[in-house]
Amino acid sequence: MTDRILIIDFGSQVTQLIARRVRESGVYCEIVPFNSAEKALETFDPKAIILSGGPASVTHADTPRAPAKVFEMGVPVLGICYGEQTLVNQLGGRVENADHREFGRAHIEIVDDCLLFDGLWSKGDTQQVWMSHGDRVIDIPAGFRPVAVTKSAPFAAIANDEKRFYGVQFHPEVVHTLEGAALLNNFTHKVAGCSGDWTMAAFRETEIARIREQVGDGKVICGLSGGVDSAVTAVLIHEAIGDQLTCVFVDTGLLRAGEAEQVVSLFKEHYNIPLIHVDAEETFMGQLEGVTDPERKRKIIGAAFIDIFDEEAGKVDGAQFLAQGTLYPDVIESVSFTGGPSVTIKSHHNVGGLPERMNLKLVEPLRELFKDEVRELGRELGLPEVFVGRHPFPGPGLAIRIPGEVSKDRADILRQADAIYLDEIRNEGLYDEIWQAFAVLLPVRTVGVMGDERSYDYACALRAVTSTDGMTADFYPFEMEFLGRVATRIINQVKGINRVTYDITSKPPGTIEWE
């Protein structure tokens, strides 16, 4: 069995980034909420444990703590931010509310060497990190020593070499901490001794065997959306069980230009996977008529999709399993210990769930993977780059990029503008530099002059963002010449648009979709 790291989550909004960095170093890991950690420790058999950050304060008696067993198992432990504070508190140290809180970029001074810093930082160095805390450690437990400080945090990093316990007040998982990923790599490889042998090729073989064992000689149905998650799910399952899989592709009329044709061509003709193709544009447009509330639009699309999918799936004789492209972030959000807004957030991206009336067992081969890992698996499976590298596109599709009422005419106008925008981005060689780019048809019509005639047409907004983690985003700094060229093409070639603008909004941690 490959080495495994367990991450105990105390509610930090960037806990998933810890897991991403650990997996990037070739080590498998999972996240578990603090209130489920006791049970997980009995079955997971971790090579090491990481305690995440969180919004609470250990100065309050009723705030989260790590199971005592964490410190009794004889495995290395790394506490990050709140994780360091609860480690200190539970082992006999002291934490207090800080007079000077630290949020954002800060600089730590390395006051002693340790294995966590090996090959990265040495005594006397000053390094940029990312802080986010209102408490500070003022007394460390026996056996620990300080290895980094700031002006307001005398124990910005601590080490217990004998027990292999470490704590850092900063967040090494975010890109703003220089060498943070390498620090986590030191913990997993040099401190914990993990081999780093977790690869996508190994995952592929393991998952194929798991699918065969779960399904046996049963039949599986899989809903295709045109996105990378469902595409990789379908190809992986087909590799495992062949024609026992049938795919159902519901064309909602809300896809990007050419996507429906690409799905049918790839899966029906190239892979020869049994495919049911349903052109349901009229159904969706009819149900969306007159609806302007964005959340209601999502719910209508979700309900219609499920009804159509359910009807078509019922035509597959003997279907016992439903395949879904559930990803690891979906799993984490579904067990959020805070009981927070994950359901509302997920409705922003997805269009449905598994109706009880379908009475099917779930097959979710991607539920242990992050988005970037799904792309890597897709390449491992030989999927074309047009699918693997495609920008994210949530289930409601163009509907959430048409504020106000959705209609076929508006969807067609937006589809044309979006295609031109993406075509110019590809021509410029920028598509892979940008995490997500799209056009938005604004619910605003403006008076203009086109040649010798007055026009009364829609305004179109363009958006492009860069992101390393899908949680934070910044606008892409296009050259004005490029934006001018795109705007000119859209206005000249798309009947119904006479004005184009570029959105330069940045996004803090959270969703980065439109609306």
Q: Is 29 a catalytic residue?
A: no
CA–CA dist 508, 95 (Å, integer): 29
Note the Cα 418 to chain centre separation in Å.
Answer: 23
Amino acid at residue number 174: V
Q: Which CA distances in Å does 218 have to 134, 200, 403? A: 55, 26, 43
Compute the CA torsion angle 367, 371, 375, 377 (nearest 10 deg).
-30
- Which entry of 133, 171, 238, 391 is annotated as an active-site residue? 171
Which spans in 91-140 are helix H?
A: none
Number of Cα atoms under 13 Å in the Cβ half of residue 237 = 35
Q: Residue 225: which of 387, 343, 405, 337 has the closest Cα?
A: 387
- Which entry of 173, 207, 259, 424 is annotated as an active-site residue? 173
Copy the structure tokens of residue 79.
């506490």
CA–CA dist 165, 170 (Å, integer): 16
For tokens 């998982």, the residue is 173
CA–CA dist 351, 346 (Å, integer): 9
Q: Residue 6: which of 67, 61, 49, 55 has the closest Cα?
A: 49
Strand partners, 133: 102
CA–CA dist 375, 378 (Å, integer): 5
Q: For 305-334, what is the HEC assignment? A: HHHHHHHHHCCCCCEEEEECCCCHHHHHHH
Q: Is 247 a catalytic residue?
A: no
Number of Cα atoms under 13 Å in the Cβ half of residue 180 = 23
Copy the structure tokens of residue 449.
């002059």
- Which entry of 29, 81, 114, 222 is annotated as an active-site residue? 81
Helix (H, G, I), strand (E, B) or coil at 262: helix
Q: Is 376 a catalytic residue?
A: no
Q: Which CA distances in Å does 143 have to 81, 139, 140, 162, 356? A: 20, 12, 8, 8, 55
Helix (H, G, I), strand (E, B) or coil at 16: helix
CA–CA dist 135, 100 (Å, integer): 9
- Per-residue DSSP letter, 256: P
Q: Which CA distances in Å does 49 have to 5, 52, 145, 484? A: 6, 10, 20, 52
Q: Write out the catalytic residue numbers.
A: 81, 171, 173
